[in-house]
Amino acid sequence: MKAERLGRRSVRVLLVLVMAVFDLAVSGLMAGGPVPAPPSAVVIVGVIVALVHWYASMFGWGGRLVATPHALLVRNVFIEHRIPWDRINGVGLDQGLGISLIDAGGGERTVRSLLFGSSMIGDLLGYPTYRRAVVWIEEHKSVFCAQGASNGPYVRAVRIPWISLLVIFLFCVSGVCFFASV
């Protein structure tokens, strides 16, 4: 079995809609004023828009669960957890998706996914998407542990996707400058 990803498509669609409304509002404010905005203000607004887009894109597209033959990767916005399959003690839905694992020292720790975090709607509906994620994790754990998955260390790493920041920055600053000049 090869690596598989689990994300949340509904979150991505919602983020695209929210960011489109945000862009229209910013463009309307920049272009609709009676006095043209000075170039420095346009650039500052472009930078703010770029940072908001970057964070939103990292949440929606960067956040996911990845099952590899050696470990479960829990990718949050800027933090990635690498959890070897044999260290997973259990998976639960207490305040969102929580993965209980055994530390190297024998203690327990819970890793949470921002993408599968606690929500009021989830509490009301019983977290159906999260329940599928729990089953998905448990199925992959049983398959990979049966194949003799490695028992490496748990690793928590910071990852900052700079290339996506640069692309979004150039796109947003040029877009805001364009709409401010219209």
Predicted pLDDT at 147: 79
Predicted pLDDT at 94: 75
**Band of pLDDT at residue 26, cut at 50, 70 and 90:** low
**Band of pLDDT at residue 81, cut at 50, 70 and 90:** very high
The per-residue pLDDT for range 160-181, each reduced to its tens digit, is: 777 666 766 676 666 666 655 5
Predicted TM-score (pTM) of this structure: 0.70
The per-residue pLDDT for range 112-151, each reduced to its tens digit, is: 887 777 777 777 777 777 888 888 899 888 888 887 766 6
The average confidence (pLDDT) of the chain is 75
Q: What is the DSSP string of 138-174?
A: HHHHHHHHHTT------EEEE---HHHHHHHHHHHHH
Burial 140-168 (b: 16+ CB within 10 A, else e): bbeebeeeebeeeebeeeeeebeeebeeb
**Band of pLDDT at residue 38, cut at 50, 70 and 90:** low
**Band of pLDDT at residue 37, cut at 50, 70 and 90:** low
